[in-house]
Amino acid sequence: MNNPSTLDALIEALRCLPGVGPKSAQRMAYHLLQYDREGAARLSTALATALAQVRHCRLCNSFTEDEVCRLCRSGTRDASTLCVVEMPADLMMMEQTQIYRGMYFVLMGRLSPLDGVGPRELHLERLLKRVEDGQVREVLLATNFTAEGEATAHYIGELLKGRGLRVTRIARGVPVGGELEYTDAGTLAQAILERRELS
Amino acid sequence: MNNPSTLDALIEALRCLPGVGPKSAQRMAYHLLQYDREGAARLSTALATALAQVRHCRLCNSFTEDEVCRLCRSGTRDASTLCVVEMPADLMMMEQTQIYRGMYFVLMGRLSPLDGVGPRELHLERLLKRVEDGQVREVLLATNFTAEGEATAHYIGELLKGRGLRVTRIARGVPVGGELEYTDAGTLAQAILERRELS
Ligand SMILES: [Zn+2]
Ligand SMILES: [Zn+2]
């Protein structure tokens, strides 16, 4: 109303952030312009830089600045096991257990029919291509134990059947309904050790 | 950990937004890079543009792209009444009542000793200068009816005493503890009509 148009544009632009509605976008814009112009400038640059630099690893599909990420390049990992997780944060939780030494594939999401995310949107064909590198023997499904994560694991399990691969699922030591990102490393380590064949 | 550094920088930069902690900054960064690169680019540009364009109106202290904002320039407003509000959103609420036709002064905050915001941080000297333009006869205090808003109104009232000005406060029609931004226009209109002399 009395807002200058560039301020209105900023408020509107902030709404691209998940969970940010009109009121909190307005509060954020006022806060930045009034109290943290330095932070706002840093954010503007960080967004532009990340957009220019960050892409998906050709092997694990996680975020990287290179064609193949550091972990996939390392050469010290067990190339015969491929762990499938939903998000990069889950990969990091797996790494923190220090028990898993194989490779990863990051789905960058989960099957979620209600949100319009089906097998096509998840680009599961990339996962199929990945497991056919001649080295992968076991696929360890480490999606969340939420309804969507379980459905995703089940779907991928069916997809990989009959390809001569061992398909496993981390043990349900992770609390039912819980998410990997919020699980302590000890519980998750147990769940990795107790992984079972997918029936 | 396995995050590329530009992604970590983006996550860190997002934390300048009020109410955004490490977990939600991470979720926001993933979301933008995965699902809304267009929105992220728009946000980056909007931030830079707003930083370059938006400043404070020399008269009312609200956000504007000009030296003096549209409302202060309009010439159709009653220059003898100056309404003091905390934030631009409060000014907009006042305007929506269509009852107030005077000028404004936007504090861009409120006295909040716990957050280190005292009279100096609020730049109340600008308000004192503003009321001495020879036209202002009445100062209508329309800060929130929260503890901090009330304290701010009281402090400004004391500050303006003995300057030959009428100092008024909008009526406590606004629910105690409530904020202007979330009040319906009818209630607020009533509160303007029932404004009382500050005792
Ligand atoms: Zn990789
Ligand atoms: Zn103005």
Query: Model confidence over A19-71: pLDDT tens digits?
Result: 999 999 999 999 999 889 999 999 999 999 999 999 999 999 999 999 999 99
Specify the pLDDT at position A178: 67
Cα nearest neighbour of B45 on chain A: A44
Taking only the tens of pLDDT, chain B with its 199 residues reads: 567 899 999 999 999 999 999 999 999 999 999 889 999 999 999 999 999 999 999 999 999 999 999 999 999 999 999 999 999 988 988 888 888 899 999 999 999 988 888 998 898 999 999 999 999 999 999 998 888 998 999 999 999 988 989 999 887 766 767 677 777 777 777 777 777 666 6
Task: Identify residue A31 by its one-letter amino acid code.
Answer: H
Structure tokens at B99: 């009852």
Is ipTM over 0.95?
no
Q: What is the mean pLDDT of chain A?
A: 89
A53–B9: do the CB atoms touch at under 8 Å?
A: no
Query: Which among A71, A98, A55 has a CA at the least distance from the CA of A189?
Result: A98
Q: Which residues in A lie closer than 8 A to residue B33 (C-beta atoms)?
A: 50-51, 54, 63
- pLDDT at position A186 is 76
Q: pLDDT band at A189, cuts 50/70/90?
A: confident
Q: How far is the CA of A143 from the centre of ligand 1 (A)?
A: 17
In chain A, which residues have their Cβ closer than 8 Å to the Cβ of B31?
A: 17-18
B22 CA → ligand 1 middle, Å: 23
Of chain A, the percentage scoring pLDDT greater than 90 comes to 61
d(CA A90, CA B159): 57
Beta strands in A65-106 (DSSP E): 78-85, 102-106
Radius of gyration, CA atoms only, chain A: 20
What does chain A come to in residues? 199
User: What local confidence, expressed as pLDDT, does residue A162 receive?
Assistant: 86
Q: What would the mean pLDDT of A149-171 be, rounded to a whole number?
A: 90
Which ligand number lies closest to the CA of residue B77? 2
A48 at B interface, C-beta within 8 A: yes
Bigger pLDDT: A143 or B175? A143
Note whether B7 and B33 are within 8 A (CB).
yes
> What number of CA atoms fall less than 13 Å from residue B89's CA on the CB side?
18
Q: Computed from CA positions of residues B32, B33, B35, B40, in that sequence, does the dihedral angle turn out positive or negative?
A: positive
Q: Letter for the amino acid at B75? A: G
* A28 contact B CB<8A: yes
* Sign of CA pseudo-dihedral B61, B63, B67, B72: negative
